Structure 1
């Protein structure tokens, strides 16, 4: 079970769950909307999405075993805790269950989100001509940004608003802000995740931004992008007409930005553990964002 937990890359699973819950609450207008029907619709979004998440991260590990022996030797396939056959079985079952649920639940935006995640997750990792997009920095970042910032926000919002609550589609200000904000966060995650992996990536020909531009330059680019996103969130929050929302949003994002800046002062770019710790902090910061009002 511990090996399966590590295989699923739990920080990505938590991010997926919180992201879907957060965006699913945006169409809710009153407490009366929080009916059993709503929670069943939310569950129908969460379960296949988590399974698809396991497919995507598992597939990447299947094709990255040799790289992970250098970059992430504690992962189950790289460490030998799982055989390749076990990994392939988990990945196949997760994909089959996810797509089956997506079809059976009869929600077009839900199925589309799962299908796009499957498509981009596959072209990101699979070693075939014209695929293996992770070798190219721009294509790799585009895959992650498209799924986490655009597909998750739009598809699950429409799923809840139209196919669960039964309301006509209305794109709200909060949805546009959440999508824009997560574009920054997802871009940072997509770029930053390769900073601690430069040795293995360089050896195996993965042209990440960290390999081509250098760790320090990419690190500070990510920090400034996050600070810009927090600054924009503060401005948007300050424009709210609802005073409690204004206070929580402004103070919350100011606090997160302050913690971010303080955390940067203790990062040692020559220490892989230090960089990885900061990367996990970025994931936690994105999770805190989901808890703040929009």
Structure 2
């Protein structure tokens, strides 16, 4: 009996020891798996964030808001807002966004040394993306943009893609007679042509003629949008170089900021936008619809006030402040597209 009890106790101790060992190994394995999952998630998050920075999200949002707003202008009744309209909008948006990525990505490829000074957080400049990865994304987006644009069977969309591709390429590529970004007037002209003219006219005609099947008529709203965005595109073209003066000067980029100085270019931008807002208020006041008149006049007045208030408090000696103000200009750019459909 005593021997059996001793054997039973020994087996119990052995069993407990095995259970403890198994539990420890299981806990260790679970912890290891958790650490692996955490590392995988951190790695994935970094890659997604790098891609997010690479595509320059403020320009992506500008393209989405701009094309969507302009596509609403040909609508004459609630019945026009249909599944056909939504499909037509997607057919325009997808290739345009891919071309947007091609243009901004190509610029980063050829600006990688400048960006190490001006924008060190960008993935090519920081080393988060290899050059081969950047080239792969740019080439893939360019090819996909044309492929999807061709499938849309819309001449205005294809025309917009071709001109955007051409101007985006000559703006950035460092070859003889190209790299137009080195020359202030040519650089501003590229941005104005795409953001002010192509986006408004091409995508308006795409929706009006090739989606809704209506006769071509350039309305007051699309003409206003084109004229107003000419001012805004020039301001964006000028202002984007203000925080980049150091790198541009070092690499021989003759921007207006390098030639005229930050303060003069800054106040030129403010005056141009205030002039545009004042003109927009007069256009809005001419509307026969009291509701639309109120929205356009008050709306542009508020945007002008936001611009002026922030301009007066800006410290031009701080690069971070200038960059924040540049992002404010993009927010005003988005806001304008919410007001444009009210101009009729």
Q: TM-score, normalised by structure 2?
A: 0.85
Structure 1 stretches lacking a partner, 5+ long: none
Q: Find 1:185's aligned residue among 187, 212, 232.
A: 232
Matched with 1:48 is 95
- CA distance in 2 between counterparts of 1:266 and 1:87 reads 38
Task: Give the C-alpha shift of residue 266 in structure 1.
Answer: 1.7
Task: Give the C-alpha shift of residue 197 in structure 1.
Answer: 0.3
Matched with 2:81 is 34
The answer to whether structure 1 residue 165 and structure 2 residue 212 are counterparts is yes
Matched with 2:148 is 101
The answer to whether structure 1 residue 287 and structure 2 residue 337 are counterparts is no
Task: Give the C-alpha shift of residue 105 in structure 1.
Answer: 1.1
- CA distance in 2 between counterparts of 1:85 and 1:224 reads 42
Q: Find 1:21's aligned residue among 68, 77, 81.
A: 68
- CA distance in 2 between counterparts of 1:251 and 1:72 reads 37
The answer to whether structure 1 residue 227 and structure 2 residue 274 are counterparts is yes
Task: Give the C-alpha shift of residue 103 in structure 1.
Answer: 1.1
Cα-to-partner distance string for 1:45-69 (whole Å, 9 max, x where unaligned): 0000000000000000000000000
Specify the SS of the correspondent of 1:196.
coil
Cα-to-partner distance string for 1:170-195 (whole Å, 9 max, x where unaligned): 01111110100000000000011000
Task: Give the C-alpha shift of residue 102 in structure 1.
Answer: 1.1
The answer to whether structure 1 residue 92 and structure 2 residue 139 are counterparts is yes
The answer to whether structure 1 residue 59 and structure 2 residue 134 are counterparts is no
The answer to whether structure 1 residue 257 and structure 2 residue 304 are counterparts is yes
Task: Give the C-alpha shift of residue 265 in structure 1.
Answer: 1.6
Q: TM-score, normalised by structure 1?
A: 0.99
Q: Find 2:259's aligned residue among 193, 200, 212.
A: 212
Indicate the structure (1 or 2) with the bigger Cα radius of gyration: 2
Matched with 2:294 is 247
- Between the two proteins, the alignment pairs up a number of residues equal to 294
Q: Which runs of 4+ in 1 moved over 2 A?
A: none
Q: Find 1:2's aligned residue among 46, 49, 60.
A: 49
Task: Give the C-alpha shift of residue 253 in structure 1.
Answer: 0.4
Structure 2 stretches lacking a partner, 5+ long: 1-47
- CA distance in 1 between counterparts of 2:274 and 2:84 reads 39
